[in-house]
Amino acid sequence: MNSIRCKASLAAALVALALGGCGSSGSSEPVSSGRAWTIGQFLRLTGFHRGKDGLSYTLPSHPECVARILLRSSAEVDTYKNSGDVIVTNPDRSAGVRVETGSPASCKALYTQALARVK
C-alpha cells in the first residue's frame, strides 16, 4: 500500500512541476533575438573602455557614465529586465548595460547611442 501511495505522490509532484513551467511569462514584450557578443565585440562596437579598476566600463569622452554590468546576450538582458533593474539595450535587445543608481540622467542617452551600434 505504501508503494502505491509513494508512486501516486511522485506522479502528482511531477505533473505539478511540468505544469508549473507551462504558460506565458505574462510579458507582452517581443522575444529576444538569442544573440550573444564577446567582450571584445561589445567593447569595439560600443566604444566602452575598461576602467582603471578593471571592474567598470566608461565611454572615453564621458567618464561620469560608469557601467559596472555589461549585458552581452539576450538571456542576460532578459534576466536583468525581469529583475526590475534599469537597463539600456540595443534595438534587438541582445546587448545592454545596467544603469547604476545615481548615474547622471544623460548617461542613459549616451548608453543608448553607444548600444545602437551593436548590430
Q: What confidence tens digit (pLDDT) does each residue in 26-64 have? A: 344 444 568 999 999 999 999 999 999 999 999 999 999
Question: Which has the higher per-residue pLDDT, 26 or 95?
Answer: 95
Residue-wise burial string across 61-71, b where 16 or more C-beta atoms lie within 10 A, e elsewhere: eeeebbbebbb
Q: What confidence tens digit (pLDDT) does each residue in 110-119 have? A: 999 999 999 9
Is the pLDDT confidence value at 73 over 50?
yes
Tell whether pTM > 0.75.
no
Instruction: Name 77's Cβ contacts closer than 8 Å, sequence gap at least 6.
Output: 32, 71, 87, 89, 93, 94, 95, 96
**Angle at alpha carbon of residue 77, lines to 71 and 78, rounded to 5°:** 155
